[in-house]
Structure 1
Amino acid sequence: MSAGSSTELLVAALRRELAGLAPGDRLPSSRDLITRHGVGPVTVARAIAELAAEGIVVTRPGSGTFVAVRRARPDERAPDTSWQTVALAGRVHVPGTDPAVTVGGGIDPTALPAGSICLAGGYLHESLQPTRALGAALVRAARRPDAWRRAPVVGITPLRAVLAHRIGPGFGPEHVLVTGGGQAALSMLFRAIAVAGSPVLVESPTYPGALAAARAAGLSPVPVPADGDGLRPDLLAEAFATTGARLLYCQPTFHNPTGAVLAPGRRRQVVDIARAAGAFVIEDDFARDLGHGCPVPAPLVADDRDGTVVHLTSLTKPASPSLRIGAVVARGPVMGRLRGMREVDDSFVARPLQEAAVELLSTSAWDRHLDTLATALRERCAVLAGALAEHLPDWTPERLPDGGLHLWLRLPDRTPCVAVAEAARAHGVMVEAGRRYFPAEPPASHLRAGFAAAAEPEDLVEAVRRLSAAVAGRRRATGRAVAADGAVTAGGAVRNGAVREDALGDGVLRDGGKTR
């Protein structure tokens, strides 16, 4: 018998033997195989090498030959993960399967098609970030002898002291807990303060990331209407009395998405109403460093002596998305609970990042950056508003804000914001539909258009031109669709009892062809 045929016979015999073994089982030794199959050592070596090349076995020098973990062959069935649908039933679901969509349902600027202009997202374009100052701060931080030492759970004392000083007199490092950015802090706060299944009061509209974090914590967001002066205290008191809520989430300064600032006369009222209800107020102060040059009111927590307000701040918005440094400022037992939650979640924020934040905030370069940023944001806001007035005059900004990164646009009646956002995307402009900013039914159609994520101010003008073309194209397509369907007669009467949402705005029809 030739060596080749001997090897083939041995390989076939070993395949039959392997079929009865499990991954990780050890094959007989070479000596045993030689004796059992009556072959020479070269034949055994060749057979084992052939099986190893196919990935059926693995050899470990000094230990032996073992059955490899079985790999699926191309002709085998695809993995079946349908069981997870049952296992996950009843759990909180945060939508977002599109790679260009974030967890909160918004647009991820890092996953946009080439040539797109971004009017979405909540961070500064790289040209507006203090890149040089950040790099220098990180280099200085890395040179510290203790830069890689484990950081305390609550954060390093120098950073906590700097952040406490930003609040005002009466606050020290003991009142500050450093977090990994604002979104992580929100998630922690909702889980630490409120009981799953309970209501949480929120402004309407509000930040979608807060809605997602609240729902992920098992809470039920309850909308409280706001107007041009911010949250309405009369309706807030009514909401507390009706729901029994023990938590309010609000953004008193440069509110997202409207840009409103809570009026001076209402700021104390909001805290007093929450205090009377025995409730906490989460003050999301994300935009304090995003003013456009006007004076910024003190945070709510600055005048709160009784621990009603839990203050949340972040450096990611005015600096860089990757400077994941935020902080919670609080008084009383709630700080102990937050510390315990922090130990469970992720123990601490990386010390080099905290040290870099101290270096950044302690230099004059940071103050110069904020001054430059204020001018740039004010100019960009004016450019976007001017372009809208020229090309889309019926898209009315709710206000020209004194801070923040966005314009909140009220669309003409019966204009569906989701369809408009989709049409804009097809024209290379990323803008966010307003529907997701409302915890319940929106009272009107809105878009949120940002002016800080585009590369240059000129891009904002081009984006509005594209938006105008998208709206015009959508109107033409809608007219053709209605004509092709024969749903509307020349006199405007409705036939066949239905018109699609993208034809007449909300497109809700009732008996007799009338809309409501």
Structure 2
Amino acid sequence: MAAGLRGWVRTRPAGTRLPSTRSLATEHHVGPVTVQQALQLLVADGLVETRPGVGTFVAAARQARPADVSWQTTALGPSEVFDTEGSGVRTFAPDVIGLHAGYPSPSLLPGPLLRSAVQKVARDPDVLMRAAPNSGLPQLRAWFARELDGHRAGGAGVDESDVIVTSGGQAALSAAFRALASPGETVVMESPTYWGAMAAARAHGLRIVPLARTADGIDPEDLDAALAAHGSRVFYAQPTYANPTGDVWAPQVRARVGEVLADRKAFLVEDDWARDLYYDAEAPAPLAAADDDGHVVYVRSLTKSMSPSIRVAGLVARGPALRRIRASRWVSELFVPAFTQQVAIDVLAHPGWNRHRGALRRALRTRRDTLLAELTRAVPELRVDRVPRGGLSLWARLPRPHHADQVAEAALAAGLAISPGAEWFPTEPYGQFVRLSFAATQETRYADAARILADLLR
């Protein structure tokens, strides 16, 4: 297919727009993934260029020949890298309905606050010339400490000395896994769970022990048994608005998990990625707010509520664990740029930040309700067992005998991108699921998305 497209491109002038992914898939009798792969080859050859939100176009001619990197296959030898890419970070043609994306659309983010902050920070003559402290700027570390400390009812308080600023939640998870466990050891994880956490753990050489979700979140006695049976000392979880399911742990589960961690002398890496993304009732307090003895390593990200370009998260830990995590960061990131941190500080201090968070929550609730209504009307056989009270997506079970990967492939051919469920399970899926994100696509496209799914399932 790439060879055929090369011939077509070479007969067109620079700037000619290529047909849509759907049209090319139909014309060449292939799937949309094949189309994307063929276009990537043409991009690598410099024959076409993609313009996000607009389309794919014939590029201006260039004289340089394509690089020949085939020798690297022999030179590198066997691969030990866990190669994965979650569907939520993939890009597709502009005409595709994107219910796969893991970030809110730009219309839901605080654009005016960010632009104002960038302009203000850029006027500082020194901010682009200085390195930030390894742990982060004191003002930003203090903000994360206050946010967590505000949920505490007593005990040992949290201050800025307990906080490390990282380049987003993914960097924080990677640093935590490297510091708390050694290659070859095990880490317990909910199943299903965030694919990026699984990738980070496997990249460090850890084996994942799955823990099934329940209506209350997890079964603490299963956690106790898993820690004991596998000799694990690290448990990764998203107790509040888990990705992809939207689940929230019940109060009794939160209390009992704290007891299990203390009894087993284990750590919980608490990924509080959606702290700002509740919309029916205020999010429950983090487990870290009830932890006085350093069992919980707490990760709070601002990326989803502020901007994908402002990759900032706070990691809170105590004791030797904090020192090991701080040291482990040297192998991946020396520090988060001072410019980025200062922009985040300026946005957080602005009176409009809380107004933005309120508007974001209302918009997400509307999108959740609209997508759910369209699916219920058009695709009643698609089951959403628990309607989420926060987060960015619906977790839906497919009717038998449909397979999630095949449905996702067919949906993309029809112009709809969704996330197949298998990538969210650390081991074999116990059912066929899809994740449908309502954060990145306008409500006006939900009816078309539901129609495409209905046609496929019937």
Which TM-score bucket, shorter chain as reference?
Answer: 0.7 to 0.9
How far does the alpha carbon of each residue in 1:217-263 deviate from its partner, in whole angstroms, 9 at most, with x for none? 10011101111211211111111111110100000000111101110
Counterpart amino acid of residue 164 in structure 1: A
1:218 to 192, 201, 205: 205
With the length of structure 2 as denominator, give the TM-score of the two structures: 0.82
Identity %: 41
Deviation at 1:92, TM superposition (A): 3.0
2:448 to 462, 473, 485: 462
Counterpart amino acid of residue 122 in structure 1: G
Query: Distance in 1 between the 2:75 and 2:174 partners?
Result: 24
Alpha-carbon distance change, 393 to 84 in structure 1, aligned in 2, over 3 angstroms: farther
Which structure 2 segments of 5+ residues have no match?
1-63, 151-156
Query: Distance in 2 between the 1:79 and 1:165 partners?
Result: 53
**Max Rg structure:** 1
> Are residues 1:450 and 2:437 paired?
yes
Query: Distance in 2 between the 1:199 and 1:156 partners?
Result: 34
Query: Distance in 2 between the 1:78 and 1:125 partners?
Result: 37
Query: Distance in 2 between the 1:237 and 1:79 partners?
Result: 49
Counterpart amino acid of residue 447 in structure 2: V
Query: Distance in 1 between the 2:409 and 2:68 partners?
Result: 36
Aligned pairs (5 A) from 1:238-387:
238-387=225-374
Query: Distance in 2 between the 1:144 and 1:275 partners?
Result: 47
**Residue of structure 1 equivalent to 2:74:** 83
Counterpart amino acid of residue 168 in structure 1: D
Deviation at 1:174, TM superposition (A): 0.4
CA contact (8 A) 2:82 2:199 kept: no
How far does the alpha carbon of each residue in 1:185-204 deviate from its partner, in whole angstroms, 9 at most, with x for none? 11111111111000100001
Query: Distance in 2 between the 1:437 and 1:244 partners?
Result: 24
Counterpart amino acid of residue 334 in structure 2: S
Matched residue of 2:261: which SS? helix
Which structure 1 segments of 5+ residues have no match?
1-72, 96-102, 473-516
Aligned pairs (5 A) from 1:124-143:
124-143=104-123
Matched residue of 1:283: which SS? strand
Tell which deviates more after alignment, 134-143 or 354-363.
134-143
CA contact (8 A) 1:413 1:444 kept: no
Alpha-carbon distance change, 143 to 394 in structure 1, aligned in 2, over 3 angstroms: same
Deviation at 1:318, TM superposition (A): 0.9
Matched residue of 2:164: which SS? strand
For the aligned residue pairs, the C-alpha RMSD in angstroms reads 1.7
CA contact (8 A) 1:292 1:375 kept: yes
**Residue of structure 2 equivalent to 1:18:** none
CA contact (8 A) 2:178 2:325 kept: no
With the length of structure 1 as denominator, give the TM-score of the two structures: 0.73
Counterpart amino acid of residue 344 in structure 1: V
How far does the alpha carbon of each residue in 1:149-177 deviate from its partner, in whole angstroms, 9 at most, with x for none? 22100000001111111101511100100
CA contact (8 A) 1:431 1:447 kept: yes
> Are residues 1:159 and 2:148 paired?
no
How far does the alpha carbon of each residue in 1:281-310 deviate from its partner, in whole angstroms, 9 at most, with x for none? 000000010011412111111110000000
Matched residue of 2:298: which SS? strand
Deviation at 1:146, TM superposition (A): 4.2
Counterpart amino acid of residue 114 in structure 2: L
Deviation at 1:343, TM superposition (A): 2.7
Alpha-carbon distance change, 77 to 315 in structure 1, aligned in 2, over 3 angstroms: closer
Query: Distance in 2 between the 1:461 and 1:141 partners?
Result: 42
Query: Distance in 2 between the 1:392 and 1:349 partners?
Result: 45
Question: Taking CA–CA contacts closer than 8 Å with sequence separation of 6 or more, which of the two structures ends up with the larger relative contact order?
Answer: 2
Query: Distance in 1 between the 2:375 and 2:75 partners?
Result: 47
CA contact (8 A) 1:292 1:374 kept: yes
Query: Distance in 2 between the 1:314 and 1:78 partners?
Result: 38
How far does the alpha carbon of each residue in 1:317-354 deviate from its partner, in whole angstroms, 9 at most, with x for none? 11111111011011111111111122332211100110
Q: How many residues align?
A: 387
Query: Distance in 2 between the 1:77 and 1:307 partners?
Result: 51
Matched residue of 2:303: which SS? coil
Matched residue of 1:318: which SS? helix
1:392 to 362, 369, 379: 379
> Are residues 1:411 and 2:395 paired?
no
Deviation at 1:471, TM superposition (A): 3.1
